[in-house]
């Protein structure tokens, strides 16, 4: 796709793609992952460059995008706030105008969603959200692919969200609305999911429960996240008290479906949002989830740069 083409797509929120595009991406991910596992070279992105901009820390996002782009034959460059002019107040709009004349695709991890939207509005090339305060679409893409790999379609299933009404929770709600499943949400008081921020219109895609055990009842997937997300560290002490009963443990897993999976986007804090028994136990698929970040993002970059293959 030519830079600036009217067909160009950004991936800033989960709802930027439709259900049938997700069906395509999941199928494509399966092919790309199988080839990778068989050591088959697949390099459709030779001469393409990915710029990654990190305004917050990362392990998985950085490694999965970087390794994935190299595997597809492309190149990667990494910028952070501290080592670029972004840290010296160059506007996101100007940075976008400049970088997008030199590279083919951009991945950004930053604070406010409005910042990545301003960047994308001035970019000639596709921009991917690698996490903002509001959303983490690449993670949910990997999580749903992981669910499908283990259990088949997620349509009609129940996902229990235990913990903070944060970027991950918002994105799960968006995904539920698009892909036709339900999220059972339980957060401490004061940390609820805001459907307006989550950007969902259909209230049937989620149900709110006061107690985390109620949210887990009958769930096909139980998932959680850190009590304090990046950027909210000043609230750490207050959050540790508020979230004390929102720790996914064996009792919560026991009321879910017998074959329920456990997921966590990582990094995890054993003994806070999840017990070691659960995250290191038989129902946990957290390592597959982390690995699948790379495979789904390869399919996503291929789609944004080359469109549908075949
Ligand atoms: N899950 C995730 O996005 O991990 P990183 O913060 O390590 O990138
Ligand atoms: N909610 C977490 C996810 C980290 C991958 C955060 O934003 O820090």
Decide whether any atom of ligand 2 lies within 6 Å of the 168 Cβ: yes
pLDDT recorded at residue 137? 99
Q: Kindly indicate whether the domain formed by 139-289 is annotated with CATH number 3.40.1260.10.
A: no
Distance between CA atoms of residues 189 and 166, nearest Å: 13
Q: For the purposes of burial, counting CB atoms within 10 Å of the CB of 44, is it exposed (0-12), middle (13-18) or buried (19 or more)?
A: middle
Q: Is 73 helix (H, G, I), strand (E, B) or coil?
A: coil
What does the block give as tokens for 45?
């992105």
Q: Is residue 298 within 8 Å of 72, Cβ to Cβ?
A: yes
What does the block give as tokens for 130?
């690698």
CB-defined site of ligand 1, < 6 Å: 58-61, 131, 139, 265-266
Domain boundaries, the chain: 14-136+292-306, 139-289
What does the block give as tokens for 15?
């709802």
Q: Is residue 69 within 8 Å of 75, Cβ to Cβ?
A: yes
Model confidence pLDDT, tens digit, residues 22-62:
999 999 999 999 999 999 999 999 999 999 999 999 999 99
Nearest atom in ligand 2 to the alpha carbon of residue 168 is 1
pLDDT recorded at residue 4? 63
Model confidence pLDDT, tens digit, residues 208-222:
999 999 999 999 999
pLDDT recorded at residue 3? 64
Cα(265) to centroid of ligand 1, in Å?
A: 7
Query: Between the CA of residue 240 and those of 191, 222, 268, 309, what are the distances in Å?
Result: 12, 21, 14, 47
Stretch 133-139: mean pLDDT: 98
What does the block give as tokens for 273?
């949002």
Residue closest via CA to ligand 2's atom 1 equals 229
Nearest atom in ligand 2 to the alpha carbon of residue 133 is 7
Examine the residue annotation and report whether 136 is marked as an active-site residue of this protein: yes
Examine the residue annotation and report whether 122 is marked as an active-site residue of this protein: no
Model confidence pLDDT, tens digit, residues 142-172:
999 999 999 999 999 999 999 999 999 999 9
- 234 contact partners, CB below 8 Å, separation of at least 6: none
What does the block give as tokens for 96?
């976008």
Residue closest via CA to ligand 1's atom 1 equals 265
Cα(133) to centroid of ligand 1, in Å?
A: 13
Examine the residue annotation and report whether 201 is marked as an active-site residue of this protein: no
Examine the residue annotation and report whether 88 is marked as an active-site residue of this protein: no
Examine the residue annotation and report whether 265 is marked as an active-site residue of this protein: yes
Examine the residue annotation and report whether 109 is marked as an active-site residue of this protein: yes
Cα(171) to centroid of ligand 1, in Å?
A: 15
Cα(154) to centroid of ligand 2, in Å?
A: 23
Decide whether any atom of ligand 2 lies within 6 Å of the 116 Cβ: no
| Helix, strand, coil content of the chain in percent (nearest 5) | 45, 15, 40
Residue closest via CA to ligand 1's atom 3 equals 61
Q: Is 79 helix (H, G, I), strand (E, B) or coil?
A: strand
| Residue among 65, 108, 131 whose CB has most ligand 2 atoms within 8 A, to mutate | 131
The catalytic position among 10, 265, 283, 297 is: 265
Equal fold, 14-136+292-306 vs 139-289: yes
pLDDT recorded at residue 310? 79
The CATH number of domain 14-136+292-306, selected from 3.10.20.30, 3.40.50.1370, 3.40.50.450, 3.40.50.740: 3.40.50.1370
Distance between CA atoms of residues 211 and 205, nearest Å: 19
The catalytic position among 205, 293, 295, 297 is: 293
Global pTM exceeds 0.95: yes
CA 53 to chain centre: 16
Cα(296) to centroid of ligand 1, in Å?
A: 14
pLDDT recorded at residue 236? 97
> Phi and psi for 27 in degrees, rounded to 5?
-65, -45
Tell me which residue has tokens 């136990």: 281
Q: Is residue 53 within 8 Å of 106, Cβ to Cβ?
A: yes
Q: Is residue 164 within 8 Å of 191, Cβ to Cβ?
A: yes
Among residues 35, 104, 115, the alpha carbon closest in space to that of 69 is found at 104
Cα(266) to centroid of ligand 1, in Å?
A: 6
Distance between CA atoms of residues 228 and 207, nearest Å: 23
Model confidence pLDDT, tens digit, residues 80-132:
999 999 999 999 999 999 999 999 999 999 999 999 999 999 999 999 999 99
Stretch 12-17: mean pLDDT: 98
Residue closest via CA to ligand 1's atom 2 equals 60
Distance between CA atoms of residues 300 and 36, nearest Å: 16
């Amino acid at each position: 796709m030519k830079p600036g083409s009217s067909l160009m797509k950004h991936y800033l929120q989960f709802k930027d793609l439709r259900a049938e595009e997700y069906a395509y991406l999941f199928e494509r991910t399966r092919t790309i992952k199988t080839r990778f596992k068989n050591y088959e070279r697949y390099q459709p992105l030779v001469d393409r460059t990915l710029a990654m901009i990190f305004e917050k820390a990362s392990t998985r996002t950085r490694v999965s995008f970087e390794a994935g782009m190299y595997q597809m034959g492309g190149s990667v460059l990494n910028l952070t706030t501290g080592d670029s002019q972004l840290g010296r107040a160059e506007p996101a709009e100007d940075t976008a105008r400049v970088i997008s004349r030199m590279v083919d695709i951009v991945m950004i991890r930053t604070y406010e969603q409005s910042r990545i939207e301003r960047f994308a509005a001035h970019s000639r090339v596709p921009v991917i959200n690698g996490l903002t305060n509001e959303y983490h679409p690449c993670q949910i893409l990997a999580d749903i692919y992981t669910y499908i790999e283990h259990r088949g379609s997620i349509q009609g299933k129940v996902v229990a969200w235990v913990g903070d009404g944060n970027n991950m929770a918002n994105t799960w709600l968006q995904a539920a609305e698009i892909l036709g499943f339900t999220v059972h949400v339980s957060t401490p008081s004061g940390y609820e999911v805001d459907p307006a921020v989550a950007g969902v219109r259909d209230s049937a895609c989620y149900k709110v429960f006061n107690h985390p055990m109620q949210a887990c009842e009958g769930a096909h997937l139980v998932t959680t996240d850190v009590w304090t997300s990046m950027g909210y560290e000043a609230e750490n002490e207050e959050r540790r008290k508020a979230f004390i009963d929102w720790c996914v443990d064996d009792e919560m897993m026991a009321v879910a479906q017998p074959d329920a999976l456990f997921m966590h986007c990582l990094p995890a804090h054993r003994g806070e949002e999840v017990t070691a028994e659960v995250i290191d136990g038989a129902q946990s698929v957290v390592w597959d989830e982390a690995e699948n970040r790379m495979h789904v993002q390869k399919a996503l970059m291929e789609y944004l740069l080359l469109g549908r293959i075949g």
